[in-house]
Amino acid sequence: MSFLLDARLKTDCIEVSDLELSKLLLMNNRNVPWLILVPKKEDAVEITDLSITEQHLLLDEINLITQIQNKLFNPDKINTAAIGNIVPQLHIHIIGRYKTDPVWPAPVWGNLQAEPYHQGELQQRIQLLKHAIHI
Amino acid sequence: MSFLLDARLKTDCIEVSDLELSKLLLMNNRNVPWLILVPKKEDAVEITDLSITEQHLLLDEINLITQIQNKLFNPDKINTAAIGNIVPQLHIHIIGRYKTDPVWPAPVWGNLQAEPYHQGELQQRIQLLKHAIHI
């Protein structure tokens, strides 16, 4: 059995890195720094579909990505969430939010319009993230 | 230093139980089964403000509440989220969602109107939850 990234996530996001448990994706929306962890476990839908060992690994990766958010983007708040009402494949949003962002304090889902990164900006952001992961 | 539950959570929710790390609250909205874990740690805002031991405990409590959601309410999907844009005190939503609920597939925050439980119904639900926690 092999893991396949959901088609909607593949369309909306850019793959940044393969961590031990999860793929790290960047949502292609320059309005907020929006990162997503997708555990590479076929058919996982809820966090509780992972074993407790995998859940602890996921927590480690959530801690890493939260640190990277704070270090690189200095948000006012982090929103961490596993929703999955539209894309059932288990994925965890780790989104940097600002009191000045377009939809604060509302959640981004269903509210924040997509505004893709410009080409050079996207490459720069991905490099920045790849570099931060390996520190 | 002593933990005090945020005033907004106190107004909107009913306290169900004290778990090892967290208080378990029931959102007073009969539209969906909406449970909230509030780690009893003063000044915690992000999950990463907890020690790794506390985070593992939180994960155990998320697993317990997710099992209870599935057992008692049989939802189509669980939404697990730490948002905190309005109430900064760290709290984790564990919400049972149904394809037939009033705002599916949108997130509940900012979308689902509050419809308080009727008096007898509320007492019954709290008893049901208290009982499930001790199984």
Q: Could you state, in order of their start, the residue ranges of all structural domains in chain A? A: 7-133
Q: Do A66 and B48 touch (CB under 8 A)?
A: yes
User: Residues B102, B115: contact at Cβ < 8 Å?
Assistant: no
| Residues A88, A81: Cα–Cα separation, whole Å | 13
Residues 6+ apart with CB under 8 A from B99: B76, B105
| A36 within 8 A of A12, measured Cβ to Cβ | no
Over residues B100-122, the mean pLDDT reads: 97
pLDDT exceeds cutoff 80 at B1: no
Q: For B80-108, what is the mean pLDDT?
A: 98
How sure is the predictor about B2, in pLDDT bands with cuts at 50, 70 and 90?
confident
B47 touches chain A (CB under 8 A): yes
Residues of A with Cβ-Cβ distance to B111 under 8 angstroms: 110
Residues A89/B113, Cβ–Cβ less than 8 Å: no
Partner residues linked to A93 by β-bridges: A36, A81
Residue B15 predicted with pLDDT over 80: yes
* A71 at B interface, C-beta within 8 A: no
Q: Any CB–CB contact under 8 A between A86 and chain B?
A: yes
Fold of A7-133: HIT family, subunit A (3.30.428)
Point out the residues of chain A with pLDDT beneath 70.
1, 135
A133: buried, middle or exposed (CB in 10 Å: 19+, 13-18, 0-12)? middle
pLDDT digits (tens, 9 = 90+) for B33-80: 999 999 999 999 999 999 999 999 999 999 999 999 999 999 999 999
What is the tens place of the pLDDT at every residue in B19-30? 999 999 999 999
A110: contact with B, CB 8 A cutoff: yes
Closest by Cβ to A48, choosing from B48, B66, B79:
B66
Sheet strands side by side (includes B34-39): A13-18, A22-27, A34-39, A92-97, A77-82, B77-82, B92-97, B34-39, B22-27, B13-18
Asked if the model's pLDDT at residue B98 lies above 70, the reply is yes
Query: How many helices, marked H, and strands, marked E, lie in chain B?
Result: 3, 5
pLDDT at A134: 85
Contact B78, A76 (CB under 8 A): no
User: How much is the pTM?
Assistant: 0.97
Q: Do A84 and B81 touch (CB under 8 A)?
A: no
A84 touches B: beta carbon within 8 Å: yes
What's the distance, CA A131 to chain centroid? Answer: 16
